[in-house]
Amino acid sequence: MDNQEDPTPVESNPSSSEPNSVPILVPVATSSTNSNTESEGNPASRSNKRKISQIWDHFKKLDGNVKSPRAACMYCGKDYACHTILNGTSNMWSHLVVCKKFLFGVI
């Protein structure tokens, strides 16, 4: 026989005045150790995936210095800093709003 502990705790009824009272079973929610595995396709496991901006549909990363990466507009070729921590993608979104070749469809 296994020496595993029963997951349902047993409590006595302290308000009962009878010395031989029946124990009350209290349901306890148990957590599974495999609840967030990626093989199950659980939506919680997808939240750990890094989100990728849609700006990368319009910009291409340039090969160059790893410490200060640059990205070029696919329409006009203008390049911008795109360091994930220092710059982000806001400057590229701002450029896309004013890029004449993007706005007028000239490629």
Q: Are the CB atoms for 9 and 2 separated by under 8 Å?
A: no
Does the pLDDT value for residue 25 go beyond 70?
yes
pLDDT of residue 60: 95
Nearest to 62 by CA among 71, 49, 51, 74: 71
**Sheet containing strand 79-81, strands side by side:** 59-61, 70-73, 79-81
Instruction: Give residue-wise pLDDT tens across range 31-76.
Output: 555 544 444 555 556 677 777 899 999 999 999 888 999 999 999 9
Give the mean pLDDT of 7-17: 53
Instruction: Give residue-wise pLDDT tens across range 77-93.
Output: 999 999 988 999 999 99
- pTM over cut 0.75: no
